[in-house]
Amino acid sequence: MDFSLPPRVAEAVGKIRALFESDVLPLEAEMLRKRSFKAMLPELGAAREKVKAAGLWAPHLSAEWGGMGLGLTEHARISEELGRSPLGHYLFGCQAPDAGNMELLSHYGSPEQKAKWLAPLAAGTVRSCFSMTEPDLPGSNPTWLGTTAARDGDDYVINGRKWFTTGADGAAFAIVMAVTSPEAPPHLRASQIIVPTDTPGFELVRNISVMGEPGEDWASHAEIAYDDCRVPVTNLLGAENAGFFLAQERLGPGRIHHAMRWIGIAERAFEMLCTRAAGRAMSPGKQLGDKQIVQAWVAESRAEIDAARLYVMHTAWRIEQEGQQEARDAVSAIKFFTAGVLTRVLDRAVQAHGALGLTDDTILAWFWRHERAAHIYDGADEVHKISLAKRILQRHGLKGAR
């Protein structure tokens, strides 16, 4: 691997850092003061226009759809920069779940679907959501779903319940995973179907309160009921019964994006840890950083962040060179490894700030509340560890690992 930044990525990083200082961090401060996300939409929209004017919009998306056209390794580096603020990816048009939905639509959407759904999504004039996880079934197993989409003439009729559908509040459409062939083998039962959120039978039941915050608009996770929700068969995304395949195609690069975003968060927390250690007086002539335990936190954090970055970038490189299937062991590993680094670094930074670290006077408490989920979404850590271990042991001759 060449570890140097390509010129266009290095130039983009410089521009991103300038926009962070002028626009992103001031808006983040407003968010921490508990301003409503919806109330902030005009200012957020103005900042997005500055991002577009700087040529930094949608780094993951091809130029055909108004993006920067970066490859996976290039976008991974950008994702780290944007991860330094909770608003970074949103303001630069590559936020989850829209980024994954854009990639699905660009690769598997029909011309009509691209014109109707991808074009406005790529332009940032609408948002979307991805509706897979269900209340009564394990979210880490996309082959086991209760939501059904029954064929009725030229329509699908969808029934079921979903939750933790990020950004459903205010979204124009959902991409729904639903069972279309219940008698088929597990990996060939479900399809992905586009459902406009104004379709009769689509009900946003509530925004789920996460650690005391129900959120709103993009910054929310919804419970959704599908009650005889009828959409035309032409809303099928890709082939019928290919839902599991599409989900895996979406999740692989998505885990790279998430992991590099976590590294950006960890870097910001690390900088705050170091600033606090160097500047916090503990006694006359002594700073917090004079404590050996704090010095150990600094050393461990630096080593862990650097190791995680190298691992994730190597995994992104392998996906580009060899394909997702060949890199799947590494994709599983970076998910739980980087999540662990993130929470350890965050915990050290909070601890170094003392009671201040628990308040919303800094960004640390916000990150702690929302990023604990790194160990859960896109497959719980335990699921990734077990599946990775099984594949490794099977290659060493263990039969029937379960």
Indicate which CATH number applies to the domain containing 314.
Answer: 1.20.140.10
With respect to residue 389, please indicate whether it lies within any of the assigned structural domains. yes
Is the pLDDT confidence value at 28 over 70? Answer: yes
Comparing CA positions, the residue from 310, 308, 383 lying closest to residue 340 is 308
- How confident is the model over 303-328, as a mean pLDDT? 94
320 and 291 share a domain? yes
Give 124's contacts (C-beta < 8 A, 6+ positions apart): 48, 57, 58, 93
pLDDT at 395: 93
Domain stop point among 237, 256, 278: 237
With respect to residue 99, please indicate whether it lies within any of the assigned structural domains. yes
291 and 202 share a domain? no
With respect to residue 179, please indicate whether it lies within any of the assigned structural domains. yes
User: What does the alpha-carbon distance between residue 304 and residue 337 come to, in Å, rounded to a whole number?
Assistant: 10
With respect to residue 322, please indicate whether it lies within any of the assigned structural domains. yes
313 and 378 share a domain? yes
Residues of the chain above pLDDT 70, percent: 99
Give 165's contacts (C-beta < 8 A, 6+ positions apart): 129, 130, 131, 133, 174, 221, 222, 223, 224
pLDDT at 325: 86
262 and 389 share a domain? yes
pLDDT tens digits, 235-270: 999 999 999 999 887 777 788 889 999 999 999 999
Q: Are 85 and 20 in contact (CB under 8 A)?
A: yes
Is the pLDDT confidence value at 214 over 70? Answer: yes
Domain stop point among 171, 206, 237: 237
Cα of first residue to Cα of last residue in the chain, in angstroms, is: 35
How many structural domains is the chain composed of?
3
pLDDT tens digits, 177-209: 999 999 999 999 999 999 999 999 999 999 999
pLDDT tens digits, 130-171: 999 999 888 777 888 999 999 999 999 999 999 999 999 999
pLDDT tens digits, 88-128: 999 999 999 999 999 999 999 999 999 999 999 999 999 99
Domain stop point among 237, 267, 290: 237
User: What does the alpha-carbon distance between residue 164 and residue 168 come to, in Å, rounded to a whole number?
Assistant: 9
391 and 263 share a domain? yes
User: What does the alpha-carbon distance between residue 297 and residue 394 come to, in Å, rounded to a whole number?
Assistant: 37
Tokens of 13: 């990083």
190 and 227 share a domain? yes
Q: Are 107 and 61 in contact (CB under 8 A)?
A: no
290 and 178 share a domain? no
Mean pLDDT of the chain: 94
189 and 162 share a domain? yes
pLDDT tens digits, 345-384: 999 999 999 999 999 999 999 999 999 999 998 889 999 9
184 and 216 share a domain? yes
Domain range for 28 is 7-109
Higher per-residue confidence, 71 vs 253: 71
With respect to residue 209, please indicate whether it lies within any of the assigned structural domains. yes
Is the pLDDT confidence value at 67 over 80? Answer: yes
Residue 210 belongs to a domain with what CATH number? 2.40.110.10
With respect to residue 119, please indicate whether it lies within any of the assigned structural domains. no
- How confident is the model over 21-40, as a mean pLDDT? 93
User: What does the alpha-carbon distance between residue 248 and residue 131 come to, in Å, rounded to a whole number?
Assistant: 14
94 and 195 share a domain? no
pLDDT at 402: 62
148 and 67 share a domain? no
Residue 59 belongs to a domain with what CATH number? 1.10.540.10
pLDDT at 142: 80
170 and 98 share a domain? no
Q: Are 30 and 40 in contact (CB under 8 A)?
A: yes
Is the pLDDT confidence value at 37 over 70? Answer: yes
With respect to residue 162, please indicate whether it lies within any of the assigned structural domains. yes
Whole-model pTM: value is 0.94
With respect to residue 192, please indicate whether it lies within any of the assigned structural domains. yes
